[in-house]
Amino acid sequence: MSLYIGVMSGTSLDGIDVSITDFNDQQIRLIAAETYPFSNQLRRDLHQLISSARTHLQQLGQIDIALGHEYSQAINQLLNETQIAANSITAIGCHGQTIFHAPEAQYPFSMQIGNANVIAEKTGITTVADFRQRDMVLGGQGAPLVPAFHQALFHSDDENRVIANIGGIGNITILPKDKNKAVSGFDTGPGNVLLDEWYQQHHLALYDANGDWARDGIIDEQLLETLMADGFFQQPIPKSTGREYFNLKWLSNILANIDKPIPAKDIQKTLLEMTARSISDAIINYADNTDAVFVCGGGSHNQVLMDALRKNLSGVRVDTTSSLGLAPDWVEACAFAWLAMRTLSHASGNLPAVTGAEKLSLLGAIYPSNIAS
């Protein structure tokens, strides 16, 4: 076996996903996976840091180290639960927590925290982190990075597929059945981030389970039209975005220009339709010969959102990646385990047709285990 661990915590801040994956003989097999919650204090600190985009240097350093410890605890817990020895793991691929993504800055950058020195020391396992920056040095967006893994695992010679990841931010990977055609992909806009934040404004839970609150809402067409008029949706690809752009402040500014009150439940339903519409529009505009769409990420559990996608993509089969052999909750964690494997194999991890980078590149920084210990 060739075992790698993947660690992912996305823009939804819904927990730490940890997977153990076997990449043996070109086969990809999930061995175990679990989601572990953030401590309440760390989740509050991360939410405040991301939503305000302001901090003191000491606070930033403390959160970075604290997150490294919580990643390490989650990894060690899964190893204990599965009785898999740390020395049987080749490496950890840790995405880290994105706190700011700025591909259009004068000096483009994407900042992820979750200190990899802590992870390597506390687990005793070589750790690969900071995957996005190398692609951005080459003129890329640094995102999305998962399409290369989607290609390796989900490509079909028989049908044109799209993999739609609905995490905090939505993104798609277009997988033509013709191997001579380039794989492409990009961020489509908000996934769950606005749905979750608006729900949290009105409930004590973190998200709208199954879309039950939105289910009885009514789409406000004026609001939907205004939301969809945002320039990001018309921006040509390659493109990427994040929580620093799509957030409650963005939504509040739009609502302030709507000259009527809208019930909170109707806003939730309209935000859900915006997510579905932005994903389906992207597929129609860039992959109009799609035979099937397979959804991964937390949005795959929102049945109202899945129904909205099916309605907007009439004639296209819409399912989850479970039907392709990998449960939707673990795709991204497995992807970063795969990217760590690519890095240690001295193989590229990005797709220039997706990110806009000048060329293929190794991704990530390697933090070796402390072999002297």
Tokens read off for 71: 């990643």
Which amino acid makes up residue 216? D
Angle, to 10 degrees, between the axis of helix 57-82 and the axis of helix 40-52?
140
Q: Specify whether the CB–CB gap between 11 and 333 falls below 8 A.
A: no
Buried b (16+ CB within 10 A) or exposed e, 204-231: eebbbeebebbbebebbeebbebbeebe
**Whole-number Å distance between alpha carbons of 372 and 105:** 42
Q: Specify whether the CB–CB gap between 71 and 77 falls below 8 A.
A: no
Q: What angle do CA 326, 329, 330 make, to 5 degrees?
A: 55
**Whole-number Å distance between alpha carbons of 116 and 130:** 9
Numbered residues of the known binding site for ATP: 10-17
- Report residue 276 CA to chain centroid gap: 16
Q: Is the dihedral of CA 108, 114, 85, 325 positive or negative?
A: negative
Numbered residues of the known binding site: 10-17
Q: Specify whether the CB–CB gap between 135 and 267 falls below 8 A.
A: no
Q: Specify whether the CB–CB gap between 122 and 72 falls below 8 A.
A: yes
In sequence order, the β-bridge partners of residue 279 are none
- Report residue 373 CA to chain centroid gap: 35
**Whole-number Å distance between alpha carbons of 373 and 371:** 5
**Whole-number Å distance between alpha carbons of 103 and 169:** 15
